[in-house]
Protein backbone atom coordinates (compact mmCIF):
# COMPACT_ATOMS: atom_id res chain seq x y z
CA UNK A 1 0.00 0.00 0.00
CA UNK A 2 1.37 3.41 -0.92
CA UNK A 3 1.52 5.72 2.10
CA UNK A 4 0.76 9.41 1.88
CA UNK A 5 3.17 11.48 3.96
CA UNK A 6 2.79 15.18 4.76
CA UNK A 7 4.65 17.39 2.32
CA UNK A 8 4.49 21.04 1.43
CA UNK A 9 3.57 20.94 -2.24
CA UNK A 10 3.43 24.12 -4.30
CA UNK A 11 1.38 26.38 -2.05
CA UNK A 12 1.83 30.07 -2.73
CA UNK A 13 1.52 32.67 0.01
CA UNK A 14 -1.88 34.29 0.22
CA UNK A 15 -2.13 38.07 0.25
CA UNK A 16 -4.65 40.18 2.10
CA UNK A 17 -7.87 40.78 0.24
CA UNK A 18 -7.35 44.50 -0.07
CA UNK A 19 -8.16 46.45 -3.18
CA UNK A 20 -10.00 43.40 -4.52
CA UNK A 21 -11.66 45.19 -7.39
CA UNK A 22 -12.51 42.11 -9.37
CA UNK A 23 -15.24 39.59 -8.75
CA UNK A 24 -13.18 36.76 -10.22
CA UNK A 25 -11.72 34.01 -8.06
CA UNK A 26 -8.54 32.29 -9.18
CA UNK A 27 -9.79 28.71 -9.16
CA UNK A 28 -13.28 28.66 -7.63
CA UNK A 29 -12.97 25.31 -5.88
CA UNK A 30 -15.26 24.07 -3.16
CA UNK A 31 -17.72 26.91 -2.57
CA UNK A 32 -21.39 26.80 -1.71
CA UNK A 33 -24.64 28.75 -1.65
CA UNK A 34 -24.31 30.62 -4.95
CA UNK A 35 -24.71 29.32 -8.49
CA UNK A 36 -21.44 30.64 -9.87
CA UNK A 37 -18.40 29.58 -7.83
CA UNK A 38 -16.11 31.92 -9.76
CA UNK A 39 -17.93 35.07 -8.69
CA UNK A 40 -18.08 36.13 -5.04
CA UNK A 41 -20.38 39.05 -5.76
CA UNK A 42 -23.63 38.83 -3.79
CA UNK A 43 -26.85 39.37 -5.66
CA UNK A 44 -29.28 42.07 -4.61
CA UNK A 45 -30.98 39.78 -2.13
CA UNK A 46 -28.77 36.70 -2.18
CA UNK A 47 -25.84 35.71 0.03
CA UNK A 48 -22.10 35.89 -0.37
CA UNK A 49 -20.19 32.62 -0.58
CA UNK A 50 -18.75 30.74 2.35
CA UNK A 51 -15.11 30.14 1.53
CA UNK A 52 -14.64 26.38 1.44
CA UNK A 53 -11.74 26.28 -0.96
CA UNK A 54 -8.97 23.89 -0.10
CA UNK A 55 -7.06 20.78 -1.03
CA UNK A 56 -7.10 18.33 1.88
CA UNK A 57 -4.65 15.49 1.32
CA UNK A 58 -5.86 13.21 4.14
CA UNK A 59 -2.30 12.02 4.72
CA UNK A 60 -1.91 8.74 6.56
CA UNK A 61 1.27 10.08 8.17
CA UNK A 62 1.19 13.64 9.52
CA UNK A 63 4.40 14.96 11.00
CA UNK A 64 4.40 16.31 14.53
CA UNK A 65 4.60 20.07 14.79
CA UNK A 66 7.78 21.46 16.30
CA UNK A 67 5.99 22.05 19.61
CA UNK A 68 4.51 18.55 19.62
CA UNK A 69 7.94 17.12 18.92
CA UNK A 70 9.56 19.08 21.75
CA UNK A 71 6.80 18.22 24.23
CA UNK A 72 6.82 14.56 23.24
CA UNK A 73 10.58 14.31 23.62
CA UNK A 74 10.39 15.98 27.03
CA UNK A 75 7.72 13.56 28.23
CA UNK A 76 9.46 10.55 26.72
CA UNK A 77 12.87 11.40 28.17
CA UNK A 78 11.89 12.05 31.77
CA UNK A 79 11.48 15.82 31.57
CA UNK A 80 14.58 16.69 29.56
CA UNK A 81 13.70 20.01 27.90
CA UNK A 82 14.14 20.16 24.11
CA UNK A 83 12.71 23.67 23.58
CA UNK A 84 16.15 25.25 23.25
CA UNK A 85 16.78 22.96 20.27
CA UNK A 86 13.42 23.37 18.54
CA UNK A 87 13.61 27.17 18.74
CA UNK A 88 15.98 27.02 15.78
CA UNK A 89 13.94 24.45 13.83
CA UNK A 90 12.58 25.30 10.42
CA UNK A 91 9.15 26.86 10.88
CA UNK A 92 5.99 26.26 8.85
CA UNK A 93 5.23 29.13 6.48
CA UNK A 94 2.16 30.94 7.89
CA UNK A 95 -0.62 32.31 5.71
CA UNK A 96 -0.87 29.49 3.19
CA UNK A 97 -3.39 27.64 5.38
CA UNK A 98 -5.57 28.73 8.31
CA UNK A 99 -3.26 27.07 10.85
CA UNK A 100 0.39 26.06 10.86
CA UNK A 101 -0.47 22.54 12.05
CA UNK A 102 -2.13 21.84 8.69
CA UNK A 103 -0.96 18.57 7.10
CA UNK A 104 0.13 20.44 3.96
CA UNK A 105 2.77 22.40 5.86
CA UNK A 106 4.31 19.56 7.85
CA UNK A 107 6.81 18.34 5.33
CA UNK A 108 10.26 16.92 6.00
CA UNK A 109 12.86 18.30 3.62
CA UNK A 110 16.65 18.14 3.96
CA UNK A 111 16.71 21.13 6.32
CA UNK A 112 14.01 19.88 8.67
CA UNK A 113 15.39 16.34 8.63
CA UNK A 114 18.73 17.76 9.70
CA UNK A 115 16.94 19.65 12.49
CA UNK A 116 15.26 16.52 13.81
CA UNK A 117 18.35 14.36 13.46
CA UNK A 118 20.62 16.79 15.26
CA UNK A 119 18.11 17.38 18.04
CA UNK A 120 17.49 13.64 18.50
CA UNK A 121 21.21 12.98 18.86
CA UNK A 122 21.68 15.92 21.26
CA UNK A 123 18.78 14.88 23.49
CA UNK A 124 19.92 11.25 23.52
CA UNK A 125 23.44 12.28 24.53
CA UNK A 126 22.00 14.38 27.38
CA UNK A 127 19.84 11.67 28.95
CA UNK A 128 22.32 8.81 28.50
CA UNK A 129 25.29 10.74 29.83
CA UNK A 130 25.06 8.74 33.05
CA UNK A 131 23.01 6.00 34.65
CA UNK A 132 21.36 8.56 36.94
CA UNK A 133 20.07 10.68 34.05
CA UNK A 134 18.97 7.58 32.16
CA UNK A 135 17.04 6.41 35.23
CA UNK A 136 14.67 9.34 34.69
CA UNK A 137 13.70 7.72 31.38
CA UNK A 138 13.56 4.10 32.61
CA UNK A 139 14.23 2.94 36.16
CA UNK A 140 15.27 -0.61 35.29
CA UNK A 141 18.49 -1.90 33.76
CA UNK A 142 17.16 -4.61 31.43
CA UNK A 143 17.29 -4.02 27.69
CA UNK A 144 14.02 -5.79 26.97
CA UNK A 145 12.05 -3.75 29.49
CA UNK A 146 13.65 -0.52 28.30
CA UNK A 147 12.81 -1.19 24.66
CA UNK A 148 9.25 -2.31 25.41
CA UNK A 149 8.42 0.57 27.77
CA UNK A 150 10.09 3.44 25.95
CA UNK A 151 9.18 2.02 22.56
CA UNK A 152 5.47 2.02 23.40
CA UNK A 153 5.62 5.68 24.39
CA UNK A 154 7.69 6.63 21.34
CA UNK A 155 5.59 4.73 18.80
CA UNK A 156 2.33 5.51 20.65
CA UNK A 157 1.49 1.79 20.48
CA UNK A 158 3.17 -1.50 21.49
CA UNK A 159 6.13 -2.48 19.36
CA UNK A 160 5.73 -5.46 17.07
CA UNK A 161 7.85 -8.55 17.62
CA UNK A 162 9.98 -7.61 14.60
CA UNK A 163 10.53 -4.07 15.88
CA UNK A 164 11.46 -5.33 19.34
CA UNK A 165 13.95 -7.80 17.84
CA UNK A 166 15.54 -5.09 15.68
CA UNK A 167 15.95 -2.79 18.66
CA UNK A 168 17.41 -5.61 20.77
CA UNK A 169 20.02 -6.14 18.08
CA UNK A 170 20.76 -2.42 18.02
CA UNK A 171 21.00 -2.32 21.83
CA UNK A 172 23.49 -5.20 21.81
CA UNK A 173 25.69 -3.43 19.28
CA UNK A 174 25.52 -0.18 21.20
CA UNK A 175 26.43 -1.77 24.51
CA UNK A 176 29.83 -2.79 23.12
CA UNK A 177 30.83 0.72 22.08
CA UNK A 178 33.88 2.25 23.67
CA UNK A 179 33.66 4.87 26.38
CA UNK A 180 33.29 5.20 30.13
CA UNK A 181 29.51 4.92 30.27
CA UNK A 182 27.85 1.71 31.40
CA UNK A 183 26.98 -0.92 28.81
CA UNK A 184 23.30 -0.24 29.51
CA UNK A 185 23.65 3.50 28.89
CA UNK A 186 25.57 2.91 25.65
CA UNK A 187 23.01 0.40 24.37
CA UNK A 188 20.10 2.64 25.36
CA UNK A 189 21.77 5.58 23.62
CA UNK A 190 21.76 3.86 20.24
CA UNK A 191 18.15 2.71 20.67
CA UNK A 192 16.90 6.18 21.65
CA UNK A 193 18.66 7.82 18.72
CA UNK A 194 16.90 5.41 16.38
CA UNK A 195 13.50 5.73 18.04
CA UNK A 196 13.52 9.53 17.97
CA UNK A 197 14.24 9.47 14.25
CA UNK A 198 11.72 6.76 13.40
CA UNK A 199 8.74 7.76 11.23
CA UNK A 200 6.54 6.16 13.88
CA UNK A 201 7.71 8.80 16.35
CA UNK A 202 8.05 11.72 13.97
CA UNK A 203 4.63 11.17 12.39
CA UNK A 204 1.14 10.54 13.74
CA UNK A 205 -0.32 7.76 11.61
CA UNK A 206 -3.76 6.57 10.50
CA UNK A 207 -3.26 3.11 8.98
CA UNK A 208 -6.87 2.00 9.33
CA UNK A 209 -8.76 1.13 6.13
CA UNK A 210 -10.72 4.02 4.55
CA UNK A 211 -14.14 4.47 6.10
CA UNK A 212 -13.27 2.38 9.15
CA UNK A 213 -12.89 3.64 12.74
CA UNK A 214 -9.34 4.50 13.75
CA UNK A 215 -7.68 2.04 16.10
CA UNK A 216 -7.73 2.82 19.80
CA UNK A 217 -4.02 3.68 19.69
CA UNK A 218 -4.53 5.99 16.73
CA UNK A 219 -7.36 7.71 18.61
CA UNK A 220 -5.20 8.04 21.72
CA UNK A 221 -2.43 9.68 19.70
CA UNK A 222 -4.83 11.97 17.85
CA UNK A 223 -6.50 13.12 21.07
CA UNK A 224 -3.29 13.63 23.00
CA UNK A 225 -1.37 15.41 20.27
CA UNK A 226 -4.30 17.78 19.77
CA UNK A 227 -5.60 18.50 23.27
CA UNK A 228 -2.36 17.97 25.21
CA UNK A 229 0.07 18.89 22.45
CA UNK A 230 2.23 15.91 23.32
CA UNK A 231 2.51 12.14 22.98
CA UNK A 232 0.04 9.97 24.94
CA UNK A 233 1.03 9.21 28.52
CA UNK A 234 1.12 5.70 29.95
CA UNK A 235 -2.42 5.97 31.36
CA UNK A 236 -3.87 6.90 27.98
CA UNK A 237 -2.00 4.10 26.26
CA UNK A 238 -3.29 1.72 28.91
CA UNK A 239 -6.84 2.91 28.12
CA UNK A 240 -6.18 2.08 24.46
CA UNK A 241 -4.85 -1.39 25.28
CA UNK A 242 -7.89 -3.55 24.80
CA UNK A 243 -10.08 -1.93 27.45
CA UNK A 244 -12.56 -0.72 24.86
CA UNK A 245 -12.59 2.78 26.38
CA UNK A 246 -11.57 4.36 23.08
CA UNK A 247 -13.52 2.04 20.80
CA UNK A 248 -16.81 3.93 21.03
CA UNK A 249 -17.82 7.50 20.40
CA UNK A 250 -18.94 7.87 24.01
CA UNK A 251 -15.62 6.59 25.26
CA UNK A 252 -13.61 8.95 23.08
CA UNK A 253 -15.77 11.89 24.14
CA UNK A 254 -15.38 10.99 27.81
CA UNK A 255 -11.60 10.97 27.43
CA UNK A 256 -11.65 14.29 25.58
CA UNK A 257 -13.87 15.79 28.27
CA UNK A 258 -11.25 14.94 30.88
CA UNK A 259 -8.49 16.46 28.74
CA UNK A 260 -10.42 19.69 28.24
CA UNK A 261 -10.22 20.38 31.97
CA UNK A 262 -6.42 20.15 31.98
CA UNK A 263 -4.14 23.18 31.73
CA UNK A 264 -2.63 21.87 28.53
CA UNK A 265 -5.99 22.27 26.76
CA UNK A 266 -6.08 25.95 27.72
CA UNK A 267 -2.64 26.40 26.18
CA UNK A 268 -3.75 24.56 23.04
CA UNK A 269 -6.81 26.78 22.69
CA UNK A 270 -4.60 29.83 23.16
CA UNK A 271 -2.68 28.68 20.13
CA UNK A 272 -5.94 28.16 18.24
CA UNK A 273 -7.35 31.60 18.98
CA UNK A 274 -3.96 33.22 18.44
CA UNK A 275 -3.67 31.83 14.92
CA UNK A 276 -7.40 32.24 14.20
CA UNK A 277 -7.18 36.01 14.75
CA UNK A 278 -3.46 36.50 13.99
CA UNK A 279 -2.73 37.79 17.49
CA UNK A 280 1.02 37.64 16.81
CA UNK A 281 0.54 40.73 14.63
CA UNK A 282 -0.28 42.77 17.74
CA UNK A 283 3.43 42.73 18.58
CA UNK A 284 4.26 44.43 15.29
CA UNK A 285 2.08 47.57 15.61
CA UNK A 286 3.91 50.83 14.96
CA UNK A 287 2.53 54.34 14.57
CA UNK A 288 5.55 56.51 13.92
CA UNK A 289 3.44 59.55 12.96
CA UNK A 290 1.29 59.33 16.09
CA UNK A 291 3.35 60.64 19.05
CA UNK A 292 0.69 59.64 21.59
CA UNK A 293 1.05 55.95 20.69
CA UNK A 294 3.38 53.97 22.96
CA UNK A 295 4.57 50.69 21.46
CA UNK A 296 4.86 49.31 24.99
CA UNK A 297 1.09 48.86 24.84
CA UNK A 298 1.53 46.05 22.29
CA UNK A 299 2.24 43.49 25.03
CA UNK A 300 -0.97 44.52 26.78
CA UNK A 301 -2.98 44.32 23.58
CA UNK A 302 -1.81 40.78 22.92
CA UNK A 303 -2.18 39.42 26.45
CA UNK A 304 -5.61 41.03 26.95
CA UNK A 305 -6.74 39.26 23.78
CA UNK A 306 -5.50 35.91 25.02
CA UNK A 307 -7.16 36.47 28.39
CA UNK A 308 -10.47 37.28 26.71
CA UNK A 309 -10.51 34.02 24.76
CA UNK A 310 -9.10 32.09 27.73
CA UNK A 311 -12.20 33.18 29.62
CA UNK A 312 -14.50 32.13 26.77
CA UNK A 313 -12.95 28.66 26.83
CA UNK A 314 -12.49 28.16 30.58
CA UNK A 315 -15.90 29.45 31.62
CA UNK A 316 -17.78 27.18 29.24
CA UNK A 317 -18.77 30.06 26.95
CA UNK A 318 -18.96 30.16 23.16
CA UNK A 319 -18.66 32.35 20.10
CA UNK A 320 -22.00 33.98 20.82
CA UNK A 321 -20.60 35.24 24.11
CA UNK A 322 -17.44 36.50 22.38
CA UNK A 323 -19.62 38.42 19.90
CA UNK A 324 -21.95 39.98 22.48
CA UNK A 325 -19.73 40.56 25.52
CA UNK A 326 -19.31 44.17 26.69
CA UNK A 327 -16.46 43.30 29.05
CA UNK A 328 -12.80 42.81 28.33
CA UNK A 329 -9.40 42.64 29.97
CA UNK A 330 -7.55 45.89 30.51
CA UNK A 331 -3.94 46.72 31.31
CA UNK A 332 -2.71 50.05 32.74
CA UNK A 333 -1.86 51.58 29.37
CA UNK A 334 -5.05 50.36 27.71
CA UNK A 335 -7.33 51.92 30.32
CA UNK A 336 -6.36 55.44 29.23
CA UNK A 337 -7.57 54.78 25.68
CA UNK A 338 -10.81 53.23 26.87
CA UNK A 339 -11.62 56.44 28.73
CA UNK A 340 -12.27 57.61 32.24
CA UNK A 341 -15.09 55.19 32.92
CA UNK A 342 -12.68 52.25 32.66
CA UNK A 343 -10.45 52.11 35.72
CA UNK A 344 -6.84 51.07 35.28
CA UNK A 345 -5.63 48.10 37.32
CA UNK A 346 -2.77 48.76 39.69
CA UNK A 347 -0.79 46.12 37.85
CA UNK A 348 -1.36 43.26 35.47
CA UNK A 349 -4.81 42.90 33.97
CA UNK A 350 -8.36 43.25 35.22
CA UNK A 351 -11.68 42.48 33.58
CA UNK A 352 -13.75 45.62 33.12
CA UNK A 353 -17.13 46.60 31.71
CA UNK A 354 -16.19 48.56 28.58
CA UNK A 355 -19.58 50.18 27.94
CA UNK A 356 -22.55 49.62 25.67
CA UNK A 357 -20.73 50.75 22.51
CA UNK A 358 -18.11 48.05 22.83
CA UNK A 359 -19.86 44.83 21.98
CA UNK A 360 -17.63 41.82 21.24
CA UNK A 361 -13.88 41.40 21.11
CA UNK A 362 -13.84 43.18 17.77
CA UNK A 363 -14.73 46.56 19.30
CA UNK A 364 -11.93 46.28 21.85
CA UNK A 365 -8.60 48.06 21.49
CA UNK A 366 -6.48 45.17 20.13
CA UNK A 367 -8.53 44.53 17.00
CA UNK A 368 -9.20 48.22 16.34
CA UNK A 369 -5.62 49.43 16.79
CA UNK A 370 -4.21 46.57 14.73
CA UNK A 371 -6.57 47.39 11.88
CA UNK A 372 -5.95 51.09 11.59
CA UNK A 373 -3.62 53.57 9.95
CA UNK A 374 -1.81 55.78 12.42
CA UNK A 375 -4.55 57.62 14.36
CA UNK A 376 -7.20 57.00 11.73
CA UNK A 377 -9.54 54.03 11.33
CA UNK A 378 -8.86 51.65 8.45
CA UNK A 379 -12.26 50.52 7.20
CA UNK A 380 -10.71 48.43 4.43
CA UNK A 381 -8.54 46.30 6.72
CA UNK A 382 -11.28 46.05 9.32
CA UNK A 383 -13.82 44.98 6.74
CA UNK A 384 -11.52 42.62 4.87
CA UNK A 385 -10.29 40.84 7.97
CA UNK A 386 -13.78 40.48 9.43
CA UNK A 387 -14.95 38.98 6.13
CA UNK A 388 -12.00 36.65 5.81
CA UNK A 389 -11.45 35.52 9.40
CA UNK A 390 -14.79 35.87 11.17
CA UNK A 391 -17.32 35.35 8.37
CA UNK A 392 -15.20 33.16 6.04
CA UNK A 393 -16.53 35.15 3.10
CA UNK A 394 -15.01 34.30 -0.24
CA UNK A 395 -13.33 37.48 -1.48
CA UNK A 396 -11.83 37.98 -4.88
CA UNK A 397 -8.06 38.30 -5.28
CA UNK A 398 -6.43 41.71 -4.76
CA UNK A 399 -5.37 43.98 -7.58
CA UNK A 400 -1.79 43.65 -8.79
CA UNK A 401 -1.23 47.25 -7.72
CA UNK A 402 -3.30 48.48 -4.81
CA UNK A 403 -3.92 52.24 -5.01
CA UNK A 404 -3.81 54.48 -1.97
CA UNK A 405 -6.82 56.40 -0.78
CA UNK A 406 -7.72 59.45 -2.81
CA UNK A 407 -7.01 62.87 -1.35
CA UNK A 408 -9.54 64.01 1.21
CA UNK A 409 -11.18 67.40 0.72
CA UNK A 410 -12.85 69.77 3.16
CA UNK A 411 -16.28 68.61 4.33
CA UNK A 412 -15.62 64.99 3.36
CA UNK A 413 -15.77 62.17 5.92
CA UNK A 414 -13.22 59.39 5.98
CA UNK A 415 -16.01 57.02 4.95
CA UNK A 416 -16.68 59.09 1.84
CA UNK A 417 -13.00 58.99 0.93
CA UNK A 418 -13.00 55.18 1.02
CA UNK A 419 -16.22 55.07 -0.98
CA UNK A 420 -14.92 57.30 -3.77
CA UNK A 421 -11.59 55.45 -3.88
CA UNK A 422 -13.26 52.05 -4.29
CA UNK A 423 -16.18 53.25 -6.47
CA UNK A 424 -14.47 51.94 -9.61
CA UNK A 425 -14.37 48.46 -8.14
CA UNK A 426 -18.03 47.87 -9.02
CA UNK A 427 -20.27 45.99 -6.64
CA UNK A 428 -17.95 43.07 -5.97
CA UNK A 429 -15.92 42.73 -2.80
CA UNK A 430 -15.42 46.32 -1.67
CA UNK A 431 -18.81 47.95 -2.04
CA UNK A 432 -20.87 44.90 -1.10
CA UNK A 433 -18.58 43.06 1.31
CA UNK A 434 -15.49 44.85 2.63
CA UNK A 435 -16.69 48.43 2.98
CA UNK A 436 -20.07 47.78 4.65
CA UNK A 437 -18.48 45.69 7.40
CA UNK A 438 -15.53 48.04 7.85
CA UNK A 439 -17.71 51.14 8.11
CA UNK A 440 -19.56 49.64 11.08
CA UNK A 441 -16.39 50.32 13.14
CA UNK A 442 -15.94 53.86 11.87
CA UNK A 443 -16.76 55.44 15.24
CA UNK A 444 -13.55 53.96 16.64
CA UNK A 445 -10.44 55.88 15.63
CA UNK A 446 -6.98 54.46 14.93
CA UNK A 447 -6.23 54.24 18.66
CA UNK A 448 -9.49 52.43 19.31
CA UNK A 449 -11.11 55.43 20.99
CA UNK A 450 -14.85 55.91 20.60
CA UNK A 451 -16.20 59.11 19.07
CA UNK A 452 -19.46 60.25 17.46
CA UNK A 453 -17.86 62.83 15.16
CA UNK A 454 -14.55 63.30 13.37
CA UNK A 455 -12.68 66.55 12.81
CA UNK A 456 -11.10 67.56 9.51
CA UNK A 457 -9.96 71.00 8.38
CA UNK A 458 -11.99 72.71 11.07
CA UNK A 459 -15.18 70.77 10.40
CA UNK A 460 -16.80 68.51 12.97
CA UNK A 461 -18.34 65.79 10.81
CA UNK A 462 -20.99 63.29 11.88
CA UNK A 463 -19.87 59.68 11.49
CA UNK A 464 -22.14 57.24 9.67
CA UNK A 465 -21.49 53.66 10.80
CA UNK A 466 -24.63 52.11 9.34
CA UNK A 467 -24.60 49.44 6.69
CA UNK A 468 -26.17 46.44 5.01
CA UNK A 469 -24.63 43.03 4.37
CA UNK A 470 -25.86 39.97 2.49
CA UNK A 471 -25.01 37.19 4.94
CA UNK A 472 -25.46 33.61 3.77
CA UNK A 473 -28.83 33.56 5.56
CA UNK A 474 -30.04 36.85 4.13
CA UNK A 475 -29.36 40.56 3.91
CA UNK A 476 -29.42 42.46 7.18
CA UNK A 477 -29.16 46.14 8.09
CA UNK A 478 -27.40 47.64 11.11
CA UNK A 479 -26.69 51.07 12.54
CA UNK A 480 -23.28 50.44 14.09
CA UNK A 481 -20.76 47.82 15.17
CA UNK A 482 -22.72 46.87 18.27
CA UNK A 483 -25.81 46.03 16.24
CA UNK A 484 -23.70 44.22 13.64
CA UNK A 485 -22.14 42.03 16.32
CA UNK A 486 -25.54 40.99 17.64
CA UNK A 487 -26.70 40.19 14.09
CA UNK A 488 -23.64 38.00 13.61
CA UNK A 489 -24.19 36.30 16.97
CA UNK A 490 -27.81 35.49 16.06
CA UNK A 491 -27.08 34.53 12.45
CA UNK A 492 -25.39 31.45 11.04
CA UNK A 493 -22.37 32.68 9.07
CA UNK A 494 -20.00 33.57 11.92
CA UNK A 495 -20.81 30.27 13.63
CA UNK A 496 -20.19 28.30 10.45
CA UNK A 497 -16.91 30.14 10.04
CA UNK A 498 -15.82 29.46 13.61
CA UNK A 499 -16.80 25.81 13.12
CA UNK A 500 -14.65 25.70 10.01
CA UNK A 501 -11.68 27.17 11.85
CA UNK A 502 -12.01 24.83 14.82
CA UNK A 503 -12.42 21.79 12.56
CA UNK A 504 -9.40 22.78 10.49
CA UNK A 505 -7.29 23.14 13.63
CA UNK A 506 -8.51 19.88 15.18
CA UNK A 507 -8.37 17.78 12.00
CA UNK A 508 -5.14 19.39 10.73
CA UNK A 509 -6.43 19.86 7.21
CA UNK A 510 -8.33 22.14 4.86
CA UNK A 511 -12.10 22.15 5.33
CA UNK A 512 -14.07 21.96 2.09
CA UNK A 513 -17.62 21.71 0.78
CA UNK A 514 -17.77 17.98 1.52
CA UNK A 515 -17.48 18.91 5.20
CA UNK A 516 -20.72 20.90 5.28
CA UNK A 517 -22.60 18.29 7.36
CA UNK A 518 -19.87 18.57 9.99
CA UNK A 519 -19.90 22.38 9.89
CA UNK A 520 -23.67 22.47 10.15
CA UNK A 521 -23.60 20.30 13.25
CA UNK A 522 -20.78 22.24 14.90
CA UNK A 523 -22.30 25.63 14.08
CA UNK A 524 -25.58 24.53 15.63
CA UNK A 525 -23.69 23.84 18.85
CA UNK A 526 -21.87 27.15 18.53
CA UNK A 527 -25.10 29.15 18.37
CA UNK A 528 -26.28 27.90 21.76
CA UNK A 529 -23.36 26.11 23.37
CA UNK A 530 -19.73 26.40 24.34
CA UNK A 531 -16.37 26.06 22.63
CA UNK A 532 -15.73 23.02 24.82
CA UNK A 533 -18.92 21.37 23.59
CA UNK A 534 -17.90 22.08 20.00
CA UNK A 535 -14.62 20.26 20.63
CA UNK A 536 -16.51 17.29 22.09
CA UNK A 537 -18.92 17.26 19.14
CA UNK A 538 -15.98 17.28 16.74
CA UNK A 539 -14.35 14.39 18.58
CA UNK A 540 -17.61 12.44 18.43
CA UNK A 541 -17.98 13.03 14.70
CA UNK A 542 -16.80 10.48 12.12
CA UNK A 543 -14.57 13.18 10.64
CA UNK A 544 -12.36 12.74 13.71
CA UNK A 545 -12.82 9.06 14.61
CA UNK A 546 -13.03 7.42 11.18
CA UNK A 547 -10.32 7.18 8.56
CA UNK A 548 -11.05 9.78 5.88
CA UNK A 549 -9.73 9.94 2.33
CA UNK A 550 -8.77 7.27 -0.13
CA UNK A 551 -6.72 4.11 0.11
CA UNK A 552 -3.33 5.79 -0.20
Instruction: Of 377-391, 419-433, 508-522, give the lowest mean pLDDT range.
Output: 419-433
Quote the CA–CA distance of 154 and 73 in Å, as a whole number: 9
pLDDT at 31 over 60: no
pLDDT band at 506 (very low <50, low <70, confident <90, very high): very high
Quote the CA–CA distance of 62 and 97 in Å, as a whole number: 15
Average pLDDT score over residue span 224-237: 97
Buried-exposed string 267-295: b where 16+ CB fall within 10 A, e elsewhere: ebbbbbbbbbbebeebeebebeeeeebee
pLDDT band at 14 (very low <50, low <70, confident <90, very high): very low
- Model confidence pLDDT, tens digit, residues 59-83: 999 999 999 999 999 999 999 999 8
Beta strands in 356-421 (DSSP E): 372-373, 376-377
Q: How many CB atoms lie under 10 A from the CB of residue 548?
A: 18
**Do residues 436 and 386 touch, judged by C-beta distance below 8 A?**
no
3-state secondary structure of 18: coil
pLDDT at 312 over 90: yes
Average pLDDT score over residue span 24-37: 29
pLDDT at 45 over 60: no
- Model confidence pLDDT, tens digit, residues 370-417: 999 999 999 999 999 999 999 999 887 666 556 678 889 999 999 999
pLDDT at 523 over 70: yes
Average pLDDT in the chain: 90
Average pLDDT score over residue span 152-165: 98
pLDDT at position 4 is: 53
- Model confidence pLDDT, tens digit, residues 162-216: 999 999 999 999 999 999 999 999 999 999 999 999 999 999 999 999 999 999 9
Provide, rounded to the nearest whole percent, the portion of the chain with pLDDT above 70: 89
Report how far apart, in Å, the C-alpha atoms of 65 and of each of 70, 104, 162, 269 are.
9, 12, 28, 15
> Residue 205: in which H helix or E strand, if any?
strand 203-205
pLDDT at 41 over 50: no
- Model confidence pLDDT, tens digit, residues 437-457: 999 999 999 999 999 999 999
pLDDT at position 21 is: 37
Write down the pTM of the prediction: 0.91
3-state secondary structure 308-369: HHHHHHHCCCCHHHHHHCCEEEECHHHHHHHCCCCCCCCCCCEEEECCCCCCCHHHCHHHHH
pLDDT higher for 1 or 104?
Answer: 104
pLDDT band at 550 (very low <50, low <70, confident <90, very high): confident
3-state secondary structure of 251: helix
Amino acid sequence: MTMKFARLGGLAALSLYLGACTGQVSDGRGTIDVPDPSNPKPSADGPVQLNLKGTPAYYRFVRLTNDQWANSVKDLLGGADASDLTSSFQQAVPGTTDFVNNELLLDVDSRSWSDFQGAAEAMTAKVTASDSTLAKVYTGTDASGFITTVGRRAYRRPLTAAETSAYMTLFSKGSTLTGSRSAFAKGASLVLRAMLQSPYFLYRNELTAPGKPLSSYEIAAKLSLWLRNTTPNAALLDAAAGSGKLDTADGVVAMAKTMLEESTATAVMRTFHGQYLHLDRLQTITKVMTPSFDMAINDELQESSFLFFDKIFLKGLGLKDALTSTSGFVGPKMAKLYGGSVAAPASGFAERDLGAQRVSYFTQLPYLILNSHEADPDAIHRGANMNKDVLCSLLGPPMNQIPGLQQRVKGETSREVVDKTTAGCGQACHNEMINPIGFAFQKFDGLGQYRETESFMGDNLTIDSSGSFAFIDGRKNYQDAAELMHLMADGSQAHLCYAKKLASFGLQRDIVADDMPLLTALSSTSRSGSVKQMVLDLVRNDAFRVRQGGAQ
